[in-house]
């Protein structure tokens, strides 16, 4: 009889490689890079890399919609803009698997319910801790917030530096990419958009993507 600890895990049923297979893959990359994974300084590197990946890509194990599931209705009629700005995030470029480091500004105009502010930061992390491109991540954050809370409007702006651009390729350091997603009143009402931009410091005049 199979014990509970011996039962097949969901990761196994989806074909996810085992930890041992992941560590073996790191050893292959170390050899490909020209080093010896058996030398003293690299002996524990495969295990460390796999543990790091568990943290870097923890977003795959999170349901972003569940983060926003608990809301509050006792707001005494508050119907003004709610903004959480300067949310630091760390993501990884899906094209080169190098870091994307930036800040997110998330705002919404509540309908009948609000969500705890920590949940907005967790929502950003749920999508950041995956292989990403900034444009897609911007849309994912805004659309999830809009779909779950159904507010009067949502505004999301991301500002980030991409190491795929600063450490390789064109080698342009100090460059920041700005993306935005405006929904509801943030899209249709210029004064709402201006207020949001004023609160977050008008980053890059939001010159990139309002998809």
Cα-Cα end-to-end distance for the chain: 54
Residue-wise pLDDT tens digits, 140-173:
999 999 999 999 999 999 999 988 877 778 887 8
- Decide if pLDDT at 26 tops 70: yes
Do residues 71 and 26 both lie within one domain? no
Share of the chain above pLDDT 90, in %: 73
Tell me the two tokens of residue 207.
């010159």
Active site amino acids: 93-96, 134, 162, 164
Residue 14: the pLDDT is: 67
In terms of Cα–Cα distance, which of 116, 148, 141 is closest to 59?
A: 141
Do residues 74 and 54 both lie within one domain? no
- Decide if pLDDT at 75 tops 80: no
Do residues 52 and 99 both lie within one domain? no
112 annotated as a binding-site residue: no
Mean pLDDT of the region 61-65: 95
What are the DSSP calls for 114-173, one per residue? EE-HHHHHHHHHHHHSSEE-HHHHHHHHHHHHHHHH--SEEEEEEEEEEHHHHSSTT--T
Domain that holds residue 27: 19-58
Is 192 among the domain residues?
Answer: yes
Do residues 33 and 91 both lie within one domain? no
- Strand blocks (E) in the chain: 71-72, 82-93, 99-109, 114-115, 131-132, 153-162, 177-184
105 annotated as a binding-site residue: no
Do residues 182 and 98 both lie within one domain? yes
């Amino acid at each position: 009889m199979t014990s509970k600890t011996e039962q097949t895990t969901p990761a196994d049923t989806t074909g996810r490689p085992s930890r041992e297979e992941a560590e073996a893959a790191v050893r292959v990359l170390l050899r490909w890079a020209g080093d010896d994974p058996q030398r003293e300084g690299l002996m524990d590197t495969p295990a460390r890399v796999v543990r790091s990946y568990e943290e870097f890509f923890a977003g795959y194990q999170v349901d972003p919609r569940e983060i926003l599931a608990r809301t509050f209705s006792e707001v005494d009629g508050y119907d003004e803009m709610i903004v959480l700005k300067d949310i630091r995030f760390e993501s990884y470029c899906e094209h080169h698997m190098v870091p994307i480091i930036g800040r997110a500004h998330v705002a919404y105009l509540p309908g009948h319910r609000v969500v705890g502010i920590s949940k907005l930061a967790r929502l950003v992390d749920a999508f950041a801790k995956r292989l990403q491109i900034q444009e897609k991540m911007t849309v994912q954050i805004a659309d999830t917030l809009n779909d779950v809370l159904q507010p009067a409007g949502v505004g999301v702006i991301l500002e980030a530096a991409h190491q795929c651009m600063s450490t390789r390729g064109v080698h342009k350091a100090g460059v920041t990419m700005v993306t935005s997603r405006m929904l509801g009143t943030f899209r249709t009402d210029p004064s709402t958009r201006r207020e949001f931009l004023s609160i977050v410091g008008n980053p890059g005049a939001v010159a990139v993507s309002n998809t």
